[in-house]
């Protein structure tokens, strides 16, 4: 990748301003600046970088120093070719990959809450490096593959036997034929499984009984399995199990349930994040730490889902009133 131009920040600060120096240095590092020498920093030209460097220059002046943001053009073609090398992130990627390998050795000893915190922390670090990798190369490709492997391993620990997506249409079913049934899914409930169990008991089968399986092959023949490969209800196309159940039993007209479905989808398989998702995930992770019994976990998280559903209903009604005033 070639840069369309360059920005140069020249700055000086009073020697006594140690706190300001450290703050400005951290900002320079987070922006991905290349240090040409002490007080001279380079970035590829962009409107975002222009604004960020100007803000930093203004801060230097407020601290009693001096700063100038300049447009820079290499005088020789050799210089133009050498500038991108100043932004080589190979060593940074190598350090991250080393961190992931070290973390992988201890994953099995961590609980769900610790796994979630670790995943989010490492993901933030990875995304921060990618954001300043202006001239991505082989190291970036190798790190992407390493992160995919590490992330998949971590997710398998959080949700063992996670179902694979299947193709096909979702058939419309009569809820009256699914009352008083035995439903079964994998034990140690996580996002899609606990939300699906709540949906079943709240909207499909109020008399539902649940069996929590050590492995999918333990599912009784008379039970309605959900959220594992080969189950009666699982992932279909882009739908997670919660959304498959909604479609199967004609619940997709409920706007509040649609919002819950979007949240479950984003937490289970990715996609546009729901604002409430991180809070729900944190509550669920904490509840799993406290409650080894899945019946107790469903009861506690079911109450959380009841509250979220009521909140979404109220927001929907408020939005409708705003759009259609009497």
Half-sphere exposure of 152 (CA within 13 A, CB side): 6
DSSP one-letter string for 104-136: HTTGGGS-HHHHHHHHHHHHHHHHHHHHT-TT-
Measuring CA to CA, which residue among 90, 107, 89 is closest to residue 149? 107
Q: In the prediction, which pLDDT does 1 show?
A: 46
pTM of the shown model: 0.56
Domain limits of the chain?
Answer: 6-86, 88-158, 175-322
pLDDT score for 114: 84
Short-list 245, 243, 311, 240, CA closest to 279: 311
CATH class, domain 6-86, is alpha beta
- Count of C-beta atoms within a 10 Å radius of residue 141: 11
Q: What is the pLDDT along the chain (326 residues), one digit of tens a residue?
A: 456 789 999 999 888 778 888 999 999 999 999 999 989 999 999 999 999 999 999 999 999 999 999 998 887 877 777 889 999 999 999 999 999 999 988 888 888 778 888 888 998 999 999 999 999 889 999 999 888 888 877 877 776 666 665 666 788 999 999 999 999 999 999 999 999 999 999 999 999 999 999 999 999 999 999 999 889 999 998 899 999 999 999 999 999 999 999 999 988 887 788 899 989 999 999 999 899 899 999 999 999 999 999 999 998 887 666 666 55
Query: 3-class DSSP state for residue 267?
Result: helix
Phi, psi at 101, each rounded to 5°? -65, -40
How would you classify the pairing of strands 209-213 and 182-186? Answer: parallel
The burial of 302, by beta-carbon neighbours within 10 Å (0-12 exposed, 13-18 middle, 19 or more buried), is given as: middle
Does residue 268 contact residue 240 with C-beta atoms inside 8 Å?
yes
């Amino acid at each position: 990748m070639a840069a369309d131009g360059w920005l140069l920040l020249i700055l000086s600060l009073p020697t006594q301003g140690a706190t300001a120096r450290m703050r400005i240095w951290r900002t320079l590092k987070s922006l991905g600046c290349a240090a040409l020498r002490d007080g001279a920093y380079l970035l590829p030209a962009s409107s975002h970088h222009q604004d960020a460097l100007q803000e930093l220059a203004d801060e230097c002046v407020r601290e009693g120093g001096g700063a100038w943001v300049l447009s820079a053009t290499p005088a020789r073609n050799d210089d133009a070719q050498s500038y991108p090398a100043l932004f080589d992130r190979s060593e940074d990627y190598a350090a991250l990959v080393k961190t992931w390998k070290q973390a992988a050795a201890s994953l099995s000893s961590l609980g769900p809450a610790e796994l979630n915190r670790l995943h989010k922390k490492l993901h933030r670090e990875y995304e921060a490096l990618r954001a300043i990798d202006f001239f991505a190369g082989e190291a970036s490709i190798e790190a992407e593959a390493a992160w995919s492997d590490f992330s998949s391993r971590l997710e398998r620990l959080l949700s063992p036997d996670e179902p694979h997506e299947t193709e096909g249409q979702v058939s419309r079913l009569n809820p009256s034929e699914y009352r008083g049934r035995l439903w079964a899914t994998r034990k140690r409930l996580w996002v899609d499984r606990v939300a699906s169990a709540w949906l079943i008991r709240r909207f499909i089968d109020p008399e539902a009984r649940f069996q929590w399986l050590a492995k999918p092959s333990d599912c009784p023949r008379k039970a309605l399995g959900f959220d594992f490969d080969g189950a009666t209800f699982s992932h279909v196309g882009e739908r997670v199990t919660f959304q498959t159940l909604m479609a199967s039993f004609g619940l997709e007209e409920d706007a509040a349930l649609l919002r819950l479905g979007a949240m479950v989808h984003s937490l289970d398989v990715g996609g546009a994040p729901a604002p409430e998702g991180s809070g729900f995930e944190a509550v669920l992770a904490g509840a799993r730490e406290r409650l080894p019994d899945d019946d107790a976990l469903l009861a506690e998280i079911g109450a959380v889902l009841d509250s979220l559903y009521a909140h979404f209903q109220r927001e929907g009604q408020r939005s409708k009133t705003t759009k259609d005033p009497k």
